[in-house]
Chain A
Amino acid sequence: MDRRIFSQTAPGSPLLLLGGLVFCLVLSTGALAQAPADFAGAETCLDCHDDMAAELLQTVHGQLSDYQYPGLAIGCEACHGPGAAHAESEDPEDIFLPTAEMGNDGTDLCLDCHKTGHTLNWEMSTHAESDVSCLSCHKLHDNSSSRALLNGTEEDVCFTCHMDTKGKFQLPSHHPVREGFMTCSSCHDVHGNQFQEIADGETSRDACLVCHQQHAGPFVFEHSPVMEDCMICHDVHGSVANNLLRQNEPFICLQCHQPHFHSILTGADGDYGVDSRVSDADPNYSGLSGTSHPDSMKRVMLTKCTQCHQSIHGSDLPSQSITGQGRALNR
C-alpha cells in the first residue's frame, strides 16, 4: 500500500465549507480522500489485535477527537490506513505497515500530524540528519504509562547512543541527572533547534542561563569567555574538577591568562611578623610572628584565582585598582 495521509473526509464535509482558500490548501497537501466505508474503526481492529491495540486506546493517540485533525483518520487507521479490506480478508498484505513499507521506520508518517511545535525543526535536526527515527526513542504500542510514549526513561533512551555522556555523569562534579532532578531535555531540544545543534536556547549560553540567571547580566565588567560560551571553562556533563570545570583552578585560568608576577616572588608564610607600620593601624594584622616558607607567594597566587576574582562571571561593581580599570572582577 502506498504511503498517504489517511483521510476520512468525504466530499461535502464541513471542512470544505470553510472557504475556497482552505479548500485549496487542503488539496495542496496531497491528502487523498478515502471513502469512510474503507475504514473499519478501532473497535474492529481490537477484535483481533486486542493485545496490541487496547493499550493504544489508553494513550493520546487512541483518544483523539474527530475535529482535532480535520480530514485525517484517527485511531489505528491513522497510521495503518483503511482497514476494512484487511478486516475482511485478514490478509497482512491488505494493511499498511509503516515501519516495513516506509523508510526510516515510518517517521514521515508521524510528521504528517506532528508538523509544528517541537517538530517544526525536525527535518533540519542533527538527529534527522543521522537517520534517527521517531521509533528510535518512542514506542507507540504497549507503552501507555510512559510519558511522551518514550521507550524507557528519558535517560535510558538518550544514553543508548550517547554512552560517553552517560559515563561523564558518573564523574564527581556533574549536573543532577543521575539523581533524577534534571533530564537531558532540561537543556536539549532533541527534535531540533534552529540555532544550536540540539541545545535549547539561542546560544549554548542561553541554555545554561535558564537555571543560572544570576550570570546573565549583561554586566558592566564582563569576563569575555562567559559571554562567548560557558563550555570554554565548563564541561557541562561532568568533570573531575569541582564546579564542572574542565580543569582545576588555577590551570583552567592559566590557559588564557598569565599569573600575577607576585607568584614568582620568594617569600614567607605562616605566623610571620607583620610590618609594624600596618599592624599598628589595624588589629587584624597584629600578633603574628614565626615560621616562613619560600613558596608562600606561589601558594597564594597559584592555588585558586577565584579566591580574589570571585565575580568571575561578571560584575557591575568596579574593582579597586585604577590601573586594572575596574575590571578585575573581584568585587
Chain B
Amino acid sequence: MRTRNLLMCSVVLLMCWAGIGFADEQDAFVEGTAEVGAHYSHFTDNPQRVGEYVNLDATKDLQADMILNLFGGTENTLYNINLDYRDIATKKFEFGVNTKSFLSADFKYGSFVHNLDYDTLNNMNGKAGGKQVYNTNNDPMGRYFMEYEQFHGDVKVDLPFLTDGQIALGMSDQRRSGYKQTMTLDHCAFCHVESNAQRVDQQTRIWKADVKGTVGAFSLNYDFAKTDFVDRANTPNHQWKSARHPVNGNPMDFPTRQQFSDVTLPYARVADNDKLSHNAGIKVDLKRAGTLKGSYTNTNRRNYNTGIESDFNAGAFGYAVKLSPKMRLTGKFLAYETKVDDAFIDLNNFRAGDLVSGNLNFDWNRISSANRKVYQGDLNLGWRVGKGKHLKASWRYQVIDRPAMVQSQTSYLFDENNVGTNELVASEAFANKTMINRIKLRFDSRLGMKGNYNLTYTFTDVDMPFMNPTAMCENSLRGTDSAHGADGRMYYFQRQRFGNGTNQATQSHKATGRASYQISPRTSINGFLTVASDKNNEMNIYEYNRDLLTPGLNLWTAPSDNLLFTLGWTYNKVTSNANMCVPIFDG
C-alpha cells in the first residue's frame, strides 16, 4: 500500500512538473472536453439482481457526475488527463505524458463496486427418513460486495540508435476488498449448512520489465513479470460438531467415517501465491522470403500455504510468407509442458475400528489434472481473390497429452467390473490424449463502396475431449434389495452404471455472417447471425448437444452533426441437452 501511495505522489509531482513546463512554452496547446451531470437511482427488492456494478451505497442521494478529458502539449511533449467521476467508489483517472517520444509514462487509477450474490439458503431444509438437511444463516441481512481498486503505472524509455528500441518498467496494484458469503458443510447427524459473512482484503501486485529492439533483420523482445497475491483478511474458523450416524444417531459410530469431527478448523482459506514469468522472443525479417519468429516462455507459480509449485515451459515457432502479392501463408508450431507438484493425501482409515469390513485406507497421491504436454500446429492461407475480396482457410491440429484427466492416481474407485461386491480397486491414472482438428474458412468482401460483409465457417473435430471419466460411478450395493423394489423405488437399480460426462463437443459446427451497409451518408445499418451446433455422442451413457442461435441488428443515424441515434437488437438462444439425470425422475 505504501508503495502505491508513493507512486501516486510521484504521478502528482509529474503532473505539476508537466504543468510548469508547459506554462513556459510559447507553442503550448491544450484541448479537451468537460461534462457535468447527475444521476439518481432508486431500487426496491434485491438490487443485486440488476445492478451488478452499481454502487448501492451511493444511490441514496443525488450523485454528481463529472467527465474531463484534456489533451495538450508543446512541440516536444504531449500529455493527456482523463477523469471520470461518478461517486466516491466509482471513478477513473488517467494521466499520460510523452516527451519527444523519448520518455513516456502512463498512469491509471480506478475503482468500482461489484455486488455479489446473497443466498438465503431457503431451499436447504429437507428430511427423508433419517437423513436431514438443515441450515443456519448467521447474516440474514446479507449485503455482499467487492470493491475493485486498481493502480497501474508504466514508464517507457526509448533506446537511442536502436529501431523500436525501448525499456519499459510497469507496476500494477489491484485491491479487492469487501465482504462475501461463505458457507460450511457440517456432517454431524444431519447435513448442516451454515452461512457467514467473510471479510475480503486481497491484493495483487505485478511488477513488469520489458526490453525490446531491432538490430538489422533481428527484432528482439524480453519481458519479465513478478506477481504477488495475498489475502490479508483473517481466515474464518468453524466448529465442526460431533459426528453421528444419520439414521440411528449413535455418536460413537460416525466419527470414524469422517476425517475430522468435534473440532474447530479454518475454512474458505484463500491461497496466497506468486508467479514469476520470463518470455523471450525473436523475429527475423527475411524480406521477400518471409518472417520467422521464435519464442520461449517459462513461468513458475507457487502456493504460499502449501508450497506446491507449478512450472510452465513453452517454445513457439512461426513462419509467415507472401507466396504472391495476393497470397499469404502462415505456419505455426507450439509446444508446452505444465507440471504441478504431486501431493500425498494422508487420510484416517475409514471405519478404523471395524476390522472385518472396515479399516479401509483411502490415502492417495494427488497428481494434478493441470499436468500436460501440448503440441499444436497451425496452417493458414490468405488469398485476395479480387478487389476487396479476401478468402482465408486455416487448419489447426492440437494434441493435449495428460497423465491424468482428473486429479487422480492410485485413486480408489468402486470396481465397475465387479459391481455388488463393494471392492475397492486402484484406478490407474485417467490418462488421456485429446486430439483436435479444426478447419476454418472465412470470406470477406465489400458491398460496392458502401458496405462489406463476411462469412465464417468453423468445423472442429475432437477425439477424447476433456471430460469427467467418473461422472457416474455407482456400484450396486443395494441394487438387489427387494424391499426397495417392492415399494417402487427402482432408482437403486438405475444407479448401477458407470460412465463419463462432459459438456465438451466431439464435433462442432459454427457459422457466422456479418454485413454492414451505409444507407446514406448519415445512416448505416449492420447485422449479424451466428449459428452453432455442438455434439458429443461418444460418451458411454448419454449424448450431449448444444445449439446456439444469435442474430443481431444495429442502426446508426446522425440527423445532424450534434445528434446521433443508435439502436441495437440482439437475440441469444442457447439450448443444451445432457440427459444424464434420469435417476432423479425414476425416484
Contact = CB atoms under 8 A, between A and B. Distances in A.
Interface of A: 15, 18, 22, 24-26, 28-30, 57-60, 63-65, 67-72, 103, 113-117, 120-121, 123-124, 128-131, 144-145, 147, 160-161, 163-164, 166-168, 170-174, 176, 179-181, 194-195, 202, 210-211, 213-214, 216-222, 224-225, 227-229, 232, 240, 242-243, 246-247, 251-252, 254-259, 261-270, 272, 274-275, 277-278, 281-282, 284-285, 292, 296-304, 307-308, 310-311, 314-323, 325-327, 330-331
A29 B286 CA distance: 8
A307 B119 contact: yes
Given A268-B126, A268-B127, A310-B183, A256 B219 contact: no
B355 interface: no
B359 to A, nearest CB: 11
A222 B368 contact: yes
A25 B215 contact: yes
Contact of B273 (A129, A144, A217, A297): A217
A305 to B, nearest CB: 11
A221 B407 contact: yes
Contacts of A123: 283, 291, 293, 318, 320, 330
B163 A69 contact: yes
A263 B305 CA distance: 36
Given A325-B364, A326-B347, A258 B472 contact: yes
A166 B556 CA distance: 15
Interface in B163-195: 163-166, 174, 176, 182-193
Given A18-B161, A29-B216, A296-B125, A164 B466 contact: no
Interface residues of B, number: 194
Contacts of B158: 68
Contacts of B320: 123-124, 128
Contacts of A24: 216
Given A164-B530, A299-B123, A326 B259 contact: yes
Given A29-B285, A218-B368, A297-B126, A278 B244 contact: yes
Contacts of B504: 232
Contacts of A319: 185, 259
The 5 A-B residue pairs whose C-beta atoms are closest, nearest first, are A25-B216, A264-B587, A167-B570, A267-B128, A265-B128
A250 to B, nearest CB: 9
Nearest to A24: B216
B314 A264 contact: no
Interface stretch (B2-10, B15-23, B296-304): B296-304
Interface in B203-251: 204, 206, 210, 212-221, 227, 229, 231, 240-244, 249, 251
B468 A224 contact: yes
B382 A320 contact: no
Contacts of A71: 163
A307 B217 contact: no
B474 A258 contact: yes
Contact of A285 (B190, B257, B466): B190
Interface in B459-505: 466-468, 471-474, 491, 495, 501-504
A257 B501 contact: yes
A321 B71 contact: no
20 contacts: A25-B215, A68-B102, A70-B161, A115-B285, A124-B332, A173-B52, A194-B334, A202-B336, A216-B273, A227-B370, A228-B370, A261-B495, A261-B583, A274-B134, A296-B125, A300-B125, A308-B191, A316-B271, A321-B257, A322-B347
